[in-house]
Amino acid sequence: MRKAILLMSAYATFAALFFGPKSLHGQEAEQKKHQYSILEKNETRSPIPFLPIFSEDGTVYGITDSIGNIILEEGITFFIRSYFYQDKEFSVEPNAEKVILLERSEIALEGIEVRSFQNPIDQLMHLSKSFEPAFDKEAFLSNFRGYYAVQQQEKYVDFFEASGISLHSKSQKWKPYEFVQAGWAGGSAYQFLVPLELRRSHHWDWTNGDTIPARNTSPSTERADQYYIKPFYAREILHAFEYSWPLSSSNLKFYDFQYDLENGKEIILFKSKDEERIKANSDLFLLGEGKIVLGESAESIERIILNFSKYNYIAFPKNRNGRERQMGGSLSVIFKNSNNKVFVSEVELTAKLFGPINIGNPRPYRKGSEATIVEKILFEDFHFVQSKQDLESLEKGFGFVGLETMVAFDPAYWSSHALVSPDLFNRIKGDLGSKTSLKDQFEANSEKRLIPEEKDLAYFKDYLSKLIPQLKSIAQEISED
């Protein structure tokens, strides 16, 4: 009872407060480029669309198009890794045949106990009967930890790590675009993240290097050769792919499936049947292939990995120019079962963006030089919001603040609560701290806005000074439930 009263008090207070140069692969470079066709080794030599092609360092170099073609550079070694085709390594040579043939990967099933299901579709139909209603939830709060980093030209140029409270305000059974608010709200319209602890690097300017955010972003951010990426982009990609993934029974017809075994666990591999999407004139997002990891008893879904080659920005209508994101990568989602409901407990994104794409404020990156995004977010301590009035107050407050909490950098907190691995952090620190140490950057950005605007700043600071203690109280209470 005490916790309920405390939470209600916090919600009430919340409501009252609110109403009162050169790139590695992407540039037109000195190396010559050739168009390659990636085909399946069979009688018809059928093209393999939307297949990721990897560089030696394991990053996505590019994605084959809808007819299996891709432009590759001379003198570079490339790798093909697929769940459905045998791995292949090859180099682009000027006089070599511009066709790569891939053989189907045969999987022995004798070690797999299929139980009563004759094929993976039957098993997924069975699992969807419990998964879909359990994943369809009312609004809920949770605590989160996550980091975000951007790399260009093999150099980290941005870093952001936060810990705080999340509001998931909508069920996943929305209509297309309905859950996205107008303008550049993007994913924040259904899942809000408000940091209560924060550390971030300086704004990166290609002319001056490390900079400290000033009143407005540098004039260079308005240059035509830059685009923008906002932190925690994985939120929106995850919810967008809920339209497409094979965990929805209505999407099973769009995929081929087969069983496999991994670390003693039964898994289901899936591969997109693009011709079925074309027939259906579907607005689903294109997933190349992936895998579903089943629980120990094969009666639950533990994890899904989605390798994708195109993403359509949800906030834009279907026929809107610029809606298609030129990007490819992998999204890993781990689920947690709690009180007969299924929650996302971890989401991890590695994606490469190709070409001039404006995704959102505040970080500028040069066009023509592909940017690699690395993100990881953990969620825990799930608590449903029962009152419609409480939800309305929370949505307005969370939507007003978002990532702009202006919280102070606390070195003691990050010494024991960092999510980013030490190896990755050391690489980031080496790249970003070449002129100003990363710790000094964290200190310089302490209590500052993510997007350095000063309009109505006095009111905003006053609002936050009263709001943040209430949010910390809510976060503490739900962690003790």
Residue 419 or 21, more confident = 419
465 CB contacts (<8 Å, ≥6 apart)?
A: none
- Using one digit for the tens of pLDDT, what is the confidence trace for 115-163? 567 789 999 999 999 999 998 888 899 999 999 998 877 788 889 999 9
Find tokens 């500052």 and name the residue: 448
Stretch 417-422: mean pLDDT: 95
Average pLDDT, the chain: 77
Stretch 60-83: mean pLDDT: 83
- Range with top average pLDDT, 20-34, 178-192, 241-255, 338-352: 338-352
Amino acid 26: pLDDT = 41
Amino acid 361: pLDDT = 37
Give the distance, in angstroms, between the CA of residue 231 and the centroid of all CA atoms in the same chain: 9
Q: Residue 326 — very low, low, confident or very high, per pLDDT cuts 50/70/90?
A: low
Amino acid 141: pLDDT = 94
Range with the poorest average pLDDT among 198-202, 283-287, 416-420, 434-438: 283-287
How far apart CA 156 and CA 365 sit, in angstroms, is 11
Give percent above pLDDT 90 in the chain: 26
The upper half-sphere exposure of residue 256, i.e. CA atoms within 13 Å in the direction of its Cβ, equals: 9
Q: For residue 251, what are its two tokens?
A: 């999407």
User: Does the pLDDT at position 114 exceed 60?
Assistant: no
Q: For residue 460, what are its two tokens?
A: 């905003």
Residue 46 or 413, more confident = 413
User: Does the pLDDT at position 359 exceed 80?
Assistant: no
Go through the domains of the chain in sequence order and give each one's CATH number. 33-102 (2.60.40.1120), 120-480 (no CATH)
Residue 418 or 433, more confident = 418
User: Does the pLDDT at position 348 exceed 60?
Assistant: yes
Amino acid 170: pLDDT = 65
- Using one digit for the tens of pLDDT, what is the confidence trace for 173-227? 445 444 343 333 444 457 889 999 999 987 544 444 444 443 333 444 443 344 4
Amino acid 115: pLDDT = 55
User: Does the pLDDT at position 392 exceed 70?
Assistant: yes
CB 282 within 8 A of CB 161: no
- Using one digit for the tens of pLDDT, what is the confidence trace for 438-452? 998 899 889 888 766
- Range with top average pLDDT, 280-284, 321-325, 359-363, 375-379: 375-379
CB 11 within 8 A of CB 75: no
Give percent above pLDDT 70 in the chain: 70
How far apart CA 200 and CA 385 sit, in angstroms, is 31
Is the preceding peptide bond at 133 cis, omega within 30 degrees of 0? Answer: no
* Nearest partner of 199 among 453, 449, 467, 408, judged by Cα: 408
Stretch 66-85: mean pLDDT: 85
Amino acid 416: pLDDT = 94
Amino acid 29: pLDDT = 42
Q: Residue 51 — very low, low, confident or very high, per pLDDT cuts 50/70/90?
A: confident
User: Does the pLDDT at position 11 exceed 70?
Assistant: no
Stretch 286-294: mean pLDDT: 85
Q: Residue 293 — very low, low, confident or very high, per pLDDT cuts 50/70/90?
A: very high
How far apart CA 127 and CA 123 sit, in angstroms, is 6
- Using one digit for the tens of pLDDT, what is the confidence trace for 454-480? 667 788 888 888 888 888 999 998 888
User: Does the pLDDT at position 44 exceed 60?
Assistant: yes
* Nearest partner of 380 among 421, 422, 343, 414, judged by Cα: 343
